[in-house]
Amino acid sequence: MDKHSATCRARCLLTGALALAAACVPVTCAFAAVGSVPPASGGPTLTVGSVTLKRCEPEQQWCATLGRALDPRGVVPGTIPIYFEYYPHRGSGPAAGTLVAAEGGPGYPSTDSRDSYLALFGPLRKRYDVLIMDYRGSGRSGAIDCKELQNAPALTEGNIGACGRSLGPAAPLYSTALASDDLAAILEALAIDRVGLYGNSYGTYFAQVFALRHRDKVRALALDGADALDGPDIAWSPNYAPAMRNKFNLACARSSVCASLGGSSLDHILPALERLRAHSFQATVRYGDNRTMKLTANAAALAIVMLASSPALSSVRETDAAARAFLSGDQQPLLRLMAETLSSVDSRDPTRNPAIFSAGLEQAVTCVDAGQIFDMYLPPAQRLAARDAVIAERQARAPDTYAPFTIDEYRAMPLDYAFIDECVEWPSPTGYPASPLVFAAASYPDVPVLVVSGEFDDMTPVADGSNVAAHFSRSHHVVIANSFHVNALPHARSACGARLVRHFLDTLAVGDESCARAVPAVRLVPAFAQHAHALAPARALHGNRAGREALRVVTAAWLTAEDAIARALDNGAGGGSGLRGGTFSATAARGGYRLTLHEARWTEDVSASGRIDSPGRTGTVHATLYLESPVGSGTLEMSWPEGRAGARATARGSVGGRVVAAEGPAP
């Protein structure tokens, strides 16, 4: 799966002041010998500055590694290879400049997302060179392989701490500060003066640190899903839950059916939360590519659905209706969301290859750089006691920090989403400065900065974006309506973020940002139904001969189709399951997906097989579905526009031997 198709997989975990890297005792540290990129046999070379690059597989990019001291102070011996890729501009004459892309995570290698970055920079590549570097400890830059952590069923305080101990005194040597110094060294070696630096999610944290440490190398910053370095109470992620509540409430207010129910979306969801608190239970849930998961359906499982933004589109589109269905005895929609989220928040790939995602680097960066609710310089045993005392005080003073969830329910989420317990057993940074490095506002460089936030992003909320923008004297903050985490890359709901970022990196001006207000509202599921007779019928058009029950089957067909489309948009190409049975497959096609359904069931009594062509962000969905239903079999040709407010769907064909001509709200 493309990690950017599931917004949670480009997580932004860093929320605090940055610690400088320095170690005092020697260590023997092994790096993962994985993900090497062999030069293409007999390929040409390219000399840039003092570096000779080679053609490398599989993309035939120019690539090289730069050897760097693991510990720049020389206390911990050894070197680490820093891998990077270089894409010269395509036009004649000298380049207008160099663009650099920095990946989210931490834990992911930036070069693994080269296709997304090259798509973003595509219209600029005639005049601009492009550089992409894997952070130290990721990908081909000596990926950290803490085997227990990499292969464990789940993160625990114990296996996170064991990973840190296995790294010994090298544990603090994977900080964002040192990674930013690696990039500066590559720029020096390539004789590159200043760069336009684009970062997404954690990459925005990296970009800010780079700008603070190497301001002379920065022409401009574009920060997409901005992660704040500091701020009031930041170790508690204070903007996380308010942004989540805002996301669901705004989405409901912009949906005519949801808004007509009265109250806010949180009002609709809270009764289901109370029932889960009173009666948690074990469930086996079918989801994804016809897989099953055993899970505990409880308040924490609902918390991760609502806070993790994963699956991004489906969770917003369905949670309100799924919570209402749960109260009426229909558990499957909410249980499926729980299973999908618990599956997708694990960033490790199925092979557990640390070169694809290094769980060790994720923890090393988080535990070195992020502000914690406890003192990391305490020995772990004392830190545990301090953690418990601080949490008890918070529960007494601010129990609604993560409302509607309690602090304990929040802490029961996976550690790398709840954050506050993640590093409690990580080893103390012995020999490092007694206090973290905090940058004064006056020290932020006077460079042009564009901050792009998604209105529905609760991982890097709009409030965090405002915080980041406030630190730079020449910043501009754009909020893209009805949009999620990271908005300039291909998975985003609109092309607006990409257009703004490209224009800014080229001209250093924001330009026309009206597109940020034009992204249509998310179309919410109006209500789940186990049987088609509970659905509202489609509206008959001229020539229709089908009755109301057949028109309810039309509504079921639309919702079945959109259910599969939403999962393709969230998860990318691959297989999937219908809500109540059947399967579908999705393949990438011309900016969207071609889906093939096989007896997919959104209600228990209507199955759909056939083909759907979904255009992605904009264009028209076309579907041909063969149906089996309580009123007989049939075939429908269906279509509706994407990317348009107030879109309507049409259906023509027959059901149960009766001619169908109908329309209704796009699903």
3-state secondary structure 7-37: HHHCCECCCCCECCCCCCCCCCCCCCCCCCC
Domain assignment of residue 641, yes or no: yes
Domain assignment of residue 59, yes or no: no
What is the reported pLDDT for 442? 62
The residue among 329, 359, 287, 173 whose CA lies nearest residue 580 is 287
d(CA 288, CA 647): 28
What is the reported pLDDT for 59? 63
For 575, phi and psi rounded to 5 degrees? -100, 165
Q: What is the largest CA-CA distance in the chain?
A: 83
How far is CA 501 from each of CA 12, 62, 507, 553, rounded to the nearest angstrom? 19, 25, 10, 44
Question: Helix, strand, or coil here: 493?
Answer: coil
Say if residue 641 is preceded by a cis peptide, omega within 30 of 0. Answer: no
Mode of pairing for the β-strands spanning 128-133 and 79-87: antiparallel
- Per DSSP, the residues of 618-660 read SEEEEEEEEEE-TT--EEEEEEEEES-TT-EEEEEEEETTEEE
Instruction: Classify 541 in phi/psi space as left (phi over 0), alpha (psi -120 to 50) or beta.
Output: beta
The residue among 200, 211, 272, 264 whose CA lies nearest residue 459 is 200
The residue among 178, 168, 101, 111 whose CA lies nearest residue 138 is 111
Domain assignment of residue 579, yes or no: yes
Domain assignment of residue 20, yes or no: no
Domain assignment of residue 53, yes or no: no
d(CA 204, CA 566): 28
Q: What digits encode the pLDDT tens for the residues 53-83?
A: 999 876 668 999 999 999 998 889 999 999 9
The residue among 657, 641, 629 whose CA lies nearest residue 537 is 629
Q: Amino acid letter at 278?
A: A
634: buried, middle or exposed (CB in 10 Å: 19+, 13-18, 0-12)?
Answer: buried
What is the reported pLDDT for 4? 35
Q: Amino acid letter at 202?
A: Y
> Under 8 Å CB-to-CB from 561, ≥6 apart: which residues?
597, 608, 612, 621, 623, 625, 638, 667
Domain assignment of residue 646, yes or no: yes
Contact between residue 572 and residue 565 where contact means Cβ atoms under 8 Å apart:
no
> DSSP assignment, residue 105?
B
Mode of pairing for the β-strands spanning 658-665 and 539-540: antiparallel
Number of domains in the chain: 1
Tokens of 564: 């599969």
Contact between residue 595 and residue 584 where contact means Cβ atoms under 8 Å apart:
yes
> Under 8 Å CB-to-CB from 398, ≥6 apart: which residues?
none
Domain assignment of residue 368, yes or no: no
How many C-beta atoms surround the C-beta of residue 381 within 10 A?
9
List alpha helices for 88-201, DSSP H.
114-121, 147-151, 157-167, 176-189
Q: What are the b/e assignments for 172-206, b being 16+ CB within 10 Å?
A: bbbbbbbbbbbbebbbeebebebbbbbbbbbbbbb
The residue among 234, 297, 216 whose CA lies nearest residue 12 is 234
**pLDDT average per 10 residues of sequence, the chain (667 residues):** 34 34 29 41 83 82 95 92 97 96 97 96 97 98 96 94 95 94 98 98 96 96 96 94 98 97 98 98 94 96 95 96 98 98 90 95 94 92 95 97 98 94 91 51 88 97 97 97 97 96 98 96 98 98 97 98 95 94 94 96 98 94 98 98 94 97 97
Tokens of 308: 């993790």
| pTM beyond cutoff 0.75 | yes
Domain span at residue 640 reads 532-665
Domain assignment of residue 427, yes or no: no
Contact between residue 135 and residue 110 where contact means Cβ atoms under 8 Å apart:
yes
